[in-house]
Every structure is written in C-alpha cells, then in structure tokens.
C-alpha cells in the first residue's frame, strides 16, 4: 500500500465523533461565552477559535470576549460574535469592573455557560457567572508557578469551575497535587490537532519545493527542525549543543519561529551558532506560514522545552505528519509520544541525551521509519484530533446546561 492510499484509509477509519447538539429541549440554541485575554496567534487562542466554530456547527451561539487581536476576523467569518473588553488586564480596579461588564454581556445575550481559559479574566468571569446563576467552566493549559501565597490564590480561580478541564494528565496531576478540587470535577480533554491540515496527504510537492527554495536548504542533507517561538525555555540552545555531538553526521538544523521582539535572545543564539562552529549547519528561520510543509521537509522534529509543557502541540503535529519526534522527557510530551515506537525521549536539558535520540531517529532504515510513521499517525488520529477535543468539550457544556435546566423544572 502506498503512503497516500494508507493515509486515506487511516483517515477514513479514524473515529470521527459526532458533535453533541447544543439545542435545548425547548428548541432554542445554547449560548456559550468564552473569555480569553486576547485573540492573537497562541495555542489558547486557536483552541478558542476551534471551539467557537464547533459551537456554531453544533447549533449553538458562540460569543468570545477579549481585548481583540488578529483572529477576531476569523471569529466573525465563522459566525461568532466578538465582544471587546479589557479582560486581559491585571489591574485590580479594571478586573473588578470587568465583572459588571461580563454580567452585562451575559444578560444581553442570554448566555447559558461561561468558559474561561486564563487567570486574568478568571475571577471576573467567575463572579459574573455566579451572579447570573449559570455554569462556569475553566481550562488549565499548563502548570502555574506557585511562588507565594498570593500567587497560589491568583492561580486558584482556574480550579473553581463547575468542571475543570485539563489539557493533559500531567496538568491534572498538577491540579490534584496543589489544589483541593473534587476529583469528579476534573476532566482531561487533550488539545486537538487539525489533522485535515497536518497530514502528509494534503501537502503538495510544489509547497514543499517552494519552502525548501525559500529556506535555501542544501540538497540531500537530513534536516533537524525545532519549531517554536524564540524564547529560552523552548530549548533551542539545547539542540545547538546537541549538534556538536553529531559532527560525524551530514545534517542541517532549522530553528523555526519568530523572536516576537526578543532580539537579544536571537542574537545570543546567532552568536552561539558561530561560537560552536555551526554556521554551515544551523539556521534561524522566521515564523513560517506553512508549517505542514516545514514538517514534510524535516527528517527529525525536535521539542526541547526545558520547562514541562502542559501539552506541546509540536509532538502531535510531528507525529501527524509521519515524522520521527525527539522530545524532552517531561510534561505532556510523555503522554503523546510512545518511546521508540512513535519517537524518542531524552533527558530534559541534556544535550548529549538529545544527540543520542536524534542519532537513533536518523539511523532508522526505510522499513523502520515507515512503521514509526504509521504508528505516530494512528496515535494522533485516535487521541489528539481537533474533532475529538471539540466533541468532548461540547459534551461538558451540554451536560452542565441540561443539568441546570432539569433543576429549574
């Protein structure tokens, strides 16, 4: 079976959950208000957009409150109403006023449930939902730093939902170990990949050639890619150090991501590349607008985050694209990747361990690489799709709203 026909079969056989209906018993649509600081390009924002689209698709009404951002246009195109409010603010007075602002939105639109995904808008959203007498849902996307009593209190609002969604078992353990939360309220809903976009079958050869030409990659040389914004904890330095232990191999490396104004760190990485004698092997690429093609160009995908990520979409995206993934042995990566079956784990922060894992990935023969590729795609299709994430979250909405309706009857 060819790669293309295999992928088609896999996609057709993958479980595609039906979206639960968001139509109430009286025939009216359930109205869901999601509250996030901004609608820019991060993982939280993309998850908010995905859920807003799913709400509309399921027959509900979707509203998002944020300070605004580049994804607002896409919300509007999907039939989602955006309400611009300063919910990103950590100013105590603004946060207090945001309670009444959000309550006004709830009453104006007949909101049935509030879902908050970040701490700054968390407490105003909780107070507004409680005053309106409607369910309140939170999503914890990562473990928060607990530096002192105030920080613990500030974080705690994210554990006070009627249902507390965690994006991985790792995050669920963090919640259990640090806060008193009824076990029945914690629900794991893994982040979901857009497997329509992140599929080898949907990426044309022309797109791959175009990106390779743009990046000026050497022909026939294996590419090691680390996707992620240029920030220290993403571990770019670990990968560069690992390359010094692979001098006997012919390869090149691309650090793909925007510095987002962190020019000092970018300059530090550029100096490190020069000092380590990697100028002909390692390159920093600006943010890429065609990541599926970037994955297709790669022979090995690396996630070297030094802080444990709640989920870390690079691991699932790499597997979805059929690429061997090398990842730090902590956080959500341990749930996504099957060691030595869909990728390889290395000891966090250990450049030599990272180099050994990359060497293993590059040493796979054609048959071994094909088996690993298939297992990775199967795992993503089974556990980490956007459709599955949306179906599970909509079920939580429906459960809480229907339970409230039943009590009112």
From CA 143, how far away is CA 123, in angstroms rounded? Answer: 18
Helices (H) and strands (E) in the chain, counts: 16, 13
Average of per-residue pLDDT across 145-150: 82
From CA 222, how far away is CA 250, in angstroms rounded? Answer: 7
121 and 157 Cβ atoms separated by less than 8 Å:
no
Tell whether 3 is covered by a domain.
no
208 and 181 in a common domain? no
Give the pLDDT of residue 14. 45
136 and 125 Cβ atoms separated by less than 8 Å:
yes
Give the pLDDT of residue 366. 95
From CA 100, how far away is CA 105, in angstroms rounded? Answer: 9
Query: Whole-prediction pTM value?
Result: 0.88
Give the pLDDT of residue 41. 76
Tell whether 222 is covered by a domain.
yes
DSSP string, 134-154: --EEEEE-SPPP--SHHHHHH
124 and 64 in a common domain? yes
Tell whether 322 is covered by a domain.
yes
Quick one: CA dihedral 237, 255, 335, 396, positive or negative?
A: positive
Position 153 pLDDT exceeds 90: no
171 and 90 in a common domain? yes
392 and 330 in a common domain? no
Tell whether 297 is covered by a domain.
yes
Confidence band of 408 (pLDDT split at 50, 70, 90): low
Q: Which domain holds residue 129?
A: 14-192+386-404
Nearest to 231 by CA among 211, 193, 271, 260: 260
Average of per-residue pLDDT across 300-315: 94
Q: Say how many domains are in the chain.
A: 2
Confidence band of 364 (pLDDT split at 50, 70, 90): very high
Give the pLDDT of residue 259. 86
205 and 333 in a common domain? yes
Give the pLDDT of residue 3. 43
240 and 379 in a common domain? yes
Where would I find the beta strands (DSSP E) of 237-295? 252-256, 282-285
Give the pLDDT of residue 16. 57
Residue with the bigger pLDDT between 83 and 404: it is 83
Average of per-residue pLDDT across 72-99: 96
Position 138 pLDDT exceeds 80: yes
395 and 367 in a common domain? no
Confidence band of 129 (pLDDT split at 50, 70, 90): very high
Q: Which residues pair with 16 in a beta bridge?
A: none
- Tell me, what CATH number does 244's domain have? 3.40.50.2000
Tell whether 7 is covered by a domain.
no
Tell whether 5 is covered by a domain.
no
Give the pLDDT of residue 262. 79
Average of per-residue pLDDT across 99-103: 97
Confidence band of 1 (pLDDT split at 50, 70, 90): very low
238 and 268 in a common domain? yes
87 and 26 in a common domain? yes
Position 147 pLDDT exceeds 80: no
């Amino acid at each position: 079976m060819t790669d293309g026909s295999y992928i088609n079969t896999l996609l057709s056989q993958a479980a595609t959950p039906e979206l639960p209906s968001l139509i109430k018993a009286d025939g009216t649509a359930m109205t869901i208000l999601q509250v996030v600081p901004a609608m820019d390009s991060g993982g939280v924002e993309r998850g908010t957009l995905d859920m807003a689209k799913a709400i509309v698709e399921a027959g509900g009404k979707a509203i998002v409150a944020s300070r605004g951002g580049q994804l607002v246009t896409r919300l509007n195109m999907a039939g989602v109403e955006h309400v611009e409010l300063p919910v990103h603010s950590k100013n105590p007075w603004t946060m207090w006023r945001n309670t009444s602002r959000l309550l006004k939105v709830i009453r104006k639109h007949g909101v049935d449930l509030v879902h908050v995904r970040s701490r700054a808008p968390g407490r105003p959203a909780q107070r507004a939902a409680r005053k309106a007498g409607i369910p309140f849902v939170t999503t914890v996307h990562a473990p928060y730093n607990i530096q002192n009593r105030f920080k613990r209190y500030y974080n705690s609002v994210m554990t006070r939902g009627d249902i507390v969604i965690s994006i991985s078992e790792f995050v669920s353990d963090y919640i259990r170990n640090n806060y008193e939360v009824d076990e029945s309220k914690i629900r794991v809903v893994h982040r979901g990949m857009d497997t329509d976009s992140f599929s080898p079958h949907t990426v044309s050869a022309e797109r791959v050639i175009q990106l390779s030409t743009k990046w000026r990659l050497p022909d026939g040389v294996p590419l090691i890619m680390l996707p992620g914004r240029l920030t220290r904890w993403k571990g770019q330095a670990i990968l560069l150090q690992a390359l010094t232990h692979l001098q006997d191999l012919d390869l090149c490396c691309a650090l793909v991501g925007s510095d987002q104004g962190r020019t000092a760190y970018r300059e530090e990485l550029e100096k490190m590349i020069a000092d380590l004698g990697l100028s002909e092997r390692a390159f920093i690429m600006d943010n890429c607008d065609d990541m599926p093609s970037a994955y297709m160009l790669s022979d090995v995908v690396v996630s070297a985050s030094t802080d444990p990520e709640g989920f870390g979409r690079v691991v699932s995206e790499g597997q979805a694209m059929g690429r061997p993934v090398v990842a730090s042995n902590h956080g959500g990566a341990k749930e996504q990747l099957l060691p030595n079956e869909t990728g390889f784990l290395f000891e966090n922060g250990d450049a030599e361990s990272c180099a050994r894992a990359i060497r293993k990935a590059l040493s796979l023969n054609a048959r071994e690489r094909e088996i690993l590729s298939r297992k990775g795609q199967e795992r993503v299709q089974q556990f980490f799709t956007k459709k599955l994430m949306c179906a599970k979250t909509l079920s939580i909405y429906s459960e809480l709203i229907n339970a409230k309706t039943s009590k009112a009857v």
